[in-house]
Amino acid sequence: MLYLVSYEELADGKRKVRISKDEFMKIYFELLKDGKSQYNGEAVLFPESLIEKNLDFQDVRQLSSSVNSKIMKEKITEDQIIDKLVKTMDEIDKFINFVTLKKEESETLVKYSDKVDPAAGNLFHEMEENLLDYRNKLDLMLKTYVERNAPNTSSLIGHKVTARLISLSGGVREIAMSSSSTIQILGAEKAFFRFKKGKGTPPKHGIIYEIPDIYKAPRKLAGKIARVYANGIVKAARADMAGIKSDIPQITKEKIEKIKREFKQN
């Protein structure tokens, strides 16, 4: 007979058996419901020290909440936090644009009418400043998470583009396992499927277009630079997954500079 002694271990006084979080959840809720469970054919119970406490429903609910909270904290990855920050900042940007528009409208009304209270414009101006300040703080938080989670990739393309790639792909691991052609058009799926249906031309780049070297490049050069960056991004992400500092960012940037020099010479 085994006893559930923690959210990662069963024991019987002589043995200790490690269990996964999913196994714990199954055993734990079976114990709460039926008072017993099984693991590899062996009966599993709550330890006697816990049973002797005569837990009532409130005790059980508090214990369940505490355990679930601990498990959720361990399950939430930094990739998921980055994704949430990116989406939150996008929503804030939409609201900032709305507030800015209203501020400009109120300033115009104040300028051409003496019946409008100037305080209206000041209110929108103050709101805009507060939102921008809050967004900047979120961006600093995002930068910290991205540089810690993907140091090589963010060194190559900056924390903002890296964060969007993580958000769109699902994580650094997904970027590392992708082909460079997939990364190149990530974020341009609608244009790609239109092309597959025979409408328009194939997209040369997706979210990586936000990299200055790509969007500032001449039209004929942008696709070539995007391919080099996409290849470098995948390699940098693989180095991030391996937990090593790589020279891929420097090598990729040197390739880009060489391409730009050769284009100018021709």
User: Structural domain tally of the chain?
Assistant: 3
Residue 53 has a pLDDT of 44
Indicate if 263 and 155 belong to the same structural domain: yes
Which domain, by its residues, includes 124?
77-149
Q: Distances from the Cα of 181 to the Cαs of 163, 164, 223, in angstroms?
A: 19, 17, 11
Claim to verify: residue 144 and residue 207 sit in the same structural domain: no
What's the order of all strands across the beta sheet hosting 16-18?
16-18, 9-11, 2-6, 42-45, 37-39
Whether residues 258 and 171 share a domain: the answer is yes
pLDDT of residue 186: 83
Domain C-terminal end among 99, 125, 149: 149
The verdict on 67 and 125 lying in the same domain is no
pTM value? 0.65
Judge if 70 and 86 occupy the same domain: no
158 and 140 assigned to the same domain? no
For residue range 61-104, list pLDDT tens digits in order.
555 565 556 555 555 788 888 999 999 998 889 888 988 888 88
Examine the fold and report which residue of 115, 149, 183 is the final residue of a domain before the chain moves on: 149
Give the CATH number for residue 105: 1.10.287
Model confidence pLDDT, tens digit, residues 126-183: 888 888 998 999 999 999 999 999 999 999 999 999 999 999 999 999 999 999 888 8
pLDDT single digits (tens) 11-22: 887 888 888 877
Last residue of a domain, one of 75, 98, 113: 75
Give the range among 163-172, 213-222, 229-238, 240-249 with minimum mean pLDDT. 213-222
